Amino acid sequence: MGLNFWPRKGAPSGNQKQIAAILCDRCQKIFAKGRVFDDGIVVTKVHPSITSVKSAADHGCRLCALLQTSFHDGDSDGPIYFSLCGDDRQIDLDFSNKLGFVRPFKLRWKSEASPTTDESTNHLATQLARSNTCSSSSLSMAKNWYSSCIKNHVSCKRIDPGEEVRGTWNPTRLLDVGGIGACDHVQLVYRDSLSDAVPYAALSHCWGNYQHLRLSESNLQGFQEGIPLQQLSKTFHDAVIVTQRLGIKYLWIDSLCIVQDSQEDWSAESVMMGKLYRYCSCCIAATSAKDGQMGCFVKRDLRPLRIPQQRPIRVADSRADKNESPGYYECSDPEIWQTEVENSILSERAWAYQERILSRRVLHFGASQVFWECADMVISESHSGYKIEKNIKVDFWAPDGSVLNDTQAVRRHAYSFWVDAVEAYTPKKLTRDEDKIVAIAGIAKMVQHALKDDYIAGLWMGNLLQGLLWRAKNRYARPPTRWRAPSWSWASVNSGVVMHRHHSQSLFCLGCRERAEFHRHTRPGDVPFVELASIDEVHIETIGNDPMGAVTEAHIRMTGRAIPAMVTEDSSGRISLGIFTRTNFGMEGRNPCIIADDTSIFLDRALGGKRIAVSCLPLLAEK
């Protein structure tokens, strides 16, 4: 596929040739008609598929090259659309598809006759000094962020109420990476050889399908003698370099510090993940890498994307000034933090979510630059600071930066934080289905310190009735390959979930494999409830008897008034629920009274157009 300009009458002008050198024929159409819609956004197809975008990027289209960083392996393919909105000097260019994907860009006009000195919109060319994130300038900046945080950020080293103090604790095994360029190998060391708590970095990465080096029973002794750097994957090698440049001597990498062919070692170490990331001096995140071959460091194009035009694009029905000098639109990404961190490949992984939440400091290696994240600042090589809606590094017991002293307030914030965490965690991907409970155990332990409550397979004893009223977002999600949690726990489904909150009213929970829930919204704010059922017995067994460990058996025994009902799913997927009343209960040939439809019933799993008898168990009611 060549970069041919979208056909126009006559020979192409010099301006058209310039555009054709940087944009594919499809992206040129965005600028060819010369009109922006400011009253009602017009959405137009620009590429027939994600594959088309990637192909154009490979053939030199600069806009497609930026756009393709938003796509991940496994994304549903389909047409890509664009829309333009704004005025002639500043235009919002948004790409989207019909599955909720949106990638925004800003186009700002710069006249050649009157060059502007404002370079704030160019997020690559003016601030980034080198074409690779392994450059001295990039790593020196990272070291400055790290040093400043260690020395000056009070909130980043704060010990919160109920939090475990590290003391002399170290991970079971660490990699000794030496100093900068100190040697051509790293060495596995045990904590018994360390006299006190040592600063260490921890790597957060995607395993992918790449077969990187792993610790096993057979090479355990050899790793203690030394691991040549050339045997490490690119991601591991890059992480060693970063650790050395930060001035940290030790590094923890899961596959090199946990014996991979020992279930006993995995069970013991996996429940320590939360503590491990909480105490690390810095978490090094290979945020843009899908596997070990891609690494932390990336090459980048420092040239600004400037799209030449004879005059600014006219707005709606207005006419552009014919006396306007030629110029160009400079393209920038106004949401690069969202694009490269929040929507990154690594952010889709369940384990990585916990690692990011618990680490006090995270150094993200993104698709175009390096980012820093801690409780005090979110920053990158090209931006002095980001204003983000919610900084996940701010602890729930210090929502305003100050530690809460009210025990009840801490508990309220902890419950609220847990609900948010579960909703954010459940849609994320796991390589092993059975890790669903374990991969959030570190966050659960942190919350438990605040709640002083018993953990029940992803729920809390103190509000178990409310905890049972979760609902699956996708009843068509693939079921787990093996049992990992009881059906009344959100961990039993491979779907994002919506947890019960005080501002909504849940009346019924169906006591069968196909759980359903009535859900009625009320006014925001706390709502007093009457409990309509009671918990008589809770029994749970976990591997190693750790309440946060993988669940092997669980049940609860409840007392309440069970109501017979019928759930029906028709061929279109529409759901209805009928309750048997006293007048028709048990009478053959009589249909139950339909009291709800699919606006208020939620199933864990699809019924496949079937009809199934269930029992409704009322749990809570508004006073």
Q: Which amino acid is at 607?
A: L
- What is the pLDDT confidence band of residue 11, given thresholds at 50, 70 and 90? very low
**What is the average per-residue pLDDT within 455-477?**
93
Of 413, 444, 440, 412, the C-alpha closest to 427 is: 440
For residue 265, CA distances in Å to 166, 217, 274, 543 come to: 22, 10, 16, 12
pLDDT over 90, % of the chain: 49
Distance, in Å, from the CA atom of 353 to the CA atom of 371, rounded to the nearest integer, reads 16
pLDDT, position 394: 59
Backbone CA torsion sign across 231, 237, 241, 242: negative
- Residue 172 predicted with pLDDT over 90: yes
pLDDT of residue 8: 40
Q: Contact, 380 vs 371, CB < 8 A?
A: yes
Q: Is 229 left (phi over 0), alpha (psi -120 to 50) or beta?
A: alpha
Up-side HSE of residue 181: CA atoms within 13 Å toward CB? 0
The two three-digit tokens of residue 10, written as one number: 């006559």
Give residue 74's pLDDT band: very low, low, confident or very high (50, 70, 90). Answer: confident
Mean pLDDT for 149-156 is 90
- Rounded CA-CA distance 387/35 in Å is 32
According to the model, what pLDDT value does residue 511 have?
A: 35
Provide long-range contacts, Cβ within 8 A and 24+ apart, for 127-131: 127/381, 127/382, 127/383, 128/300, 128/302, 128/368, 128/369, 128/381, 128/382, 130/302, 131/299, 131/300, 131/301, 131/302
Residues 6 or more apart whose Cβ sits within 8 Å of residue 278: 358, 359, 360, 442, 446
Per the CB < 8 A criterion, the answer to whether 370 and 380 are in contact is yes
306 vs 7, higher pLDDT? 306
Per-chain mean pLDDT for the chain: 83
For residue 190, report the phi and psi dihedrals to the nearest 5 degrees. Answer: -95, 155
Among 438, 449, 399, residue whose Cα is nearest residue 420: 399
What are the φ and ψ backbone dihedral angles of 354, each rounded to 5 degrees? -65, -40
Query: What is the share, in percent, of the chain residues with pLDDT greater than 70?
Result: 81
The pLDDT assigned to 194 comes to 94
Q: Band the pLDDT of 402: cuts 50, 70, 90.
A: low
> How high is the pLDDT of residue 94?
92
Average confidence (pLDDT) over 182-209: 92
* Least reliable range by pLDDT among 36-45, 291-300, 348-357, 542-551: 36-45
Say which residue, 122 or 277, is predicted with more confidence.
277
For 280-307, how does the pLDDT look when each residue is reduced to its tens digit (9 = 90+)?
999 999 999 999 999 999 998 888 899 9
